Structure 1
Amino acid sequence: MGSSILPPAGEELTNGWEPELDPADSVVRQAVLAHASWAADGARRAGKPWYDGAAWAGGVLGEAGTLTNWIVLKQPVDPVAVVADIARELPGSFPYLFVSAWPTGDLRDCGLELAGHPPLMVRFPGTATVPPTTDLDIRQVTDAAGLADAERVLVEGYPIPELQPFRPGAMYSPSFLDGSDVWVGYDGNIPLATATAHHAAGLTVVESVAVLPAARGRGAGAALTWAATTHHPTHPAALIASDAGQPVYQRLNYHRLQRWTVWVRP
């Protein structure tokens, strides 16, 4: 009986992570590849250091701020080897997030510190959801002034202490809008909340959700997340959730799919 499930001799068997495999082979694969695209896209468009290979992708937008620079594994490879590869391909002492869809083992000897095991959350298209409401005026960013407003909210609202006091351009350049879509929630002309959508591999990554204290409790986080989530309404959306954000995302019909592993090089 057992031999009846064995494939014919010599048949090539996919493990789900070969570079040439269709991104839509699984939702997790789509999420991995879309996050890898997010990691490299901003730096590539800004003419800053970036790398996108078979095993990992990443970019260097700035010299400060952990959230500024991302490294994302694209396959279940040896993470220690990838850390060494990063040093060769993207040399420098910049901080970065090291994101893996797989358990990595202890990387402290590589100079990294464990940030945690946050859940990847996914919302599927066609899911019936009552759109959240807020008294803020939500506007999609179309110019440098709006992008600076979004960056200020992210730096001060997330917050990112290493980039304070705020100076525009530390994370976003005008070319950022060529690869990602950004929204800002305003009270009058005062920017108070933001979120970003990056679409790749048939999936929308929702990132950089931040709300200033003056807008908390006003539905701003949910409404900005919703704008990013539904920008490509016929495709799934995914995000790496914080503890504080999970209840908000669950109300938008996001579901925890699996835990990822996030390390930080300070």
Structure 2
Amino acid sequence: MASSILPPEGESLATGWEPDLTPTDSLVRQAVLAHASWATDAARRAGKPWYDGDAWAGGFLGDRGPLTNWVVQKQPVDPADVILEVARHLPNNVPYLYLIPWPTRDLREHGLALAGHPPLMLRFPDAATTPPVTDLEIREVTDEADLADAERVLIEGYPLPELQPFQPAALYNATFFGGPSTVWVGYDGDVPLATATAHNAAGITVVENVAVMPAARGRRAGAALTWTATTHHPTQPAALIASDAGQPVYERLNYHRLERWTVWIRP
């Protein structure tokens, strides 16, 4: 009986992580490849170092703070091999965030520190949701001045102390325009108080860089900006890596925890 479910000898059996497999083989695969695109796109557009291979992708924008530089593992290979390749292909001795969609062994011997196991959350496009309302005016970023506002809110509101005091173009620059990412800022008059970004890749929307200044907390600014990014491509699912504080907000927007990923930091 057991042999009746075995495939013919020599048949190729997909694991879901082959390089030539369609991105839509699974929602998790779509999320992995979309995050890999997020990791490389800004650096590639800005003429900064980047790499995109079968096993991992990464892009380095600067030497201050791990969120400036991302490495995303695309296949369930040994992270130690990826760490060695990162050192060969991208600038050495700079901090980076290493996102791995699987549990890992201890990587401290490679100079990394464990940041946690945040959940990948997913929202389907047909989920019925009451859009959150805020008193901020939400504007899509269309020029460099607004882009600097978005970056300031991200650095000061998230916050990212490694990038303070604020200097523009550490994370965003004009090459962002025309690419797969769209940025919004929530304003109170002319004062920028909240931001979020949608990145479109592999048939899924990645919601990133959600941040709210203290003056906007309690005004549903984070939920409203997240909703704007989530529904920017209304016919496709949206995914995000959630912080502990953000999870209740995302759940109210009909996001669901799919699985936990692993985040290591090279300080």
**TM-score for both structures, normalised by structure 2:** 0.99
After TM superposition, the structure 1 stretch with the greater mean CA deviation from structure 2, 87-96 or 127-136, is 87-96
Q: CA deviation at 1:177?
A: 2.6
Residue deviations 1:204-248, cap 9 Å, x none? 000000000000000000000000000011100000000000000
Q: Distance in 2 between matches of 1:93 and 1:6?
A: 49
Q: How far apart in 1 are the matches of 2:29 and 2:157?
A: 31
Number of positions where the alignment pairs a residue of Structure 1 with one of Structure 2? 266
> Cα deviation per residue 1:108-149 (whole Å; 9 max; x = unaligned)?
011100000000000011110000000000000011011000
* Structure 1: gaps of 5 or more residues: none
The amino acid of 2:265's aligned partner reads: V
Residue ranges of structure 2 left out of the alignment (5+ in a row): none
Where do 1:40-79 residues align within 5 Å? 40-79=40-79
Q: CA deviation at 1:178?
A: 2.6
Counterpart residue type for residue 265 of structure 1: R
How does 1:37-116 map onto structure 2 within 5 Å? Answer: 37-116=37-116
Q: What per-residue deviation string (whole Å, max 9, x for no partner) do you get for residues 185-220 of structure 1?
A: 000000000000101000000000000000000000
| Distance in 2 separating the partners of 1:177 and 1:111 | 35
Helix, strand or coil for the counterpart of 1:153? helix
For 1:198-237, what aligned pairs fall within 5 Å after superposition? 198-237=199-238
Alignment deviations for residues 17-71 of structure 1 (CA, whole Å, 9 cap, x no partner): 0000010000000000000000000000000000000000010011102211110
> What does residue 244 of structure 2 align with?
243
2:65–2:162: 8 Å Cα contact kept in structure 1? yes
- The one-letter amino acid paired with 2:44 is R
Which amino acid is 2:211 matched to? Answer: A
Q: Name the aligned partner's letter for residue 138 of structure 1.
A: I
User: 3-state DSSP class of the match of 2:54?
Assistant: coil
2:11 partner letter:
E
Q: Distance in 2 between matches of 1:143 and 1:221?
A: 22
Paired residue for 1:26? 26
Equivalent residue number for residue 192 of structure 1:
193
Matching residue of 2:183: 182
Match of 2:141 in 1: 141
Letter in 1 for 2:83: V
For residues 145 and 74 of structure 1, what CA distance do their matches in structure 2 show?
35
Question: What CA distance in whole angstroms lies between the structure 2 residues aligned with 1:110 and 1:227?
Answer: 39
C-alpha separation between the residues in 2 aligned to 1:20 and 1:77?
A: 16
1-structure distance, mates of 2:123, 2:91: 36
Q: What corresponds to 1:123 in structure 2?
A: 123
Check conservation: 2:49, 2:91, Cα contact below 8 A: no
User: Alignment partner of 2:177: what SS?
Assistant: helix
For the residue of structure 1 that corresponds to 2:149, the secondary structure is: helix
**Alpha-carbon distance in 1 for matches of 2:14, 2:113:** 33
What's the secondary structure of 1:98's corresponding residue? strand
Tell me which moved more, 108-117 or 174-183. 174-183
Cα distance in 2 for partners of 1:91, 1:105 equals: 25
Range moving further from structure 2, 203-212 or 85-94:
85-94
- Output the amino acid matched with 1:259: R
Whole-angstrom distance in 2 between the partners of 1:178 and 1:168: 19
Once residues 23 and 43 of structure 1 are traced to their aligned partners in structure 2, the CA distance between those partners, rounded to angstroms, is: 22
RMSD: 0.6
**Residue 262 of structure 2 corresponds to residue 256 of structure 1:** no
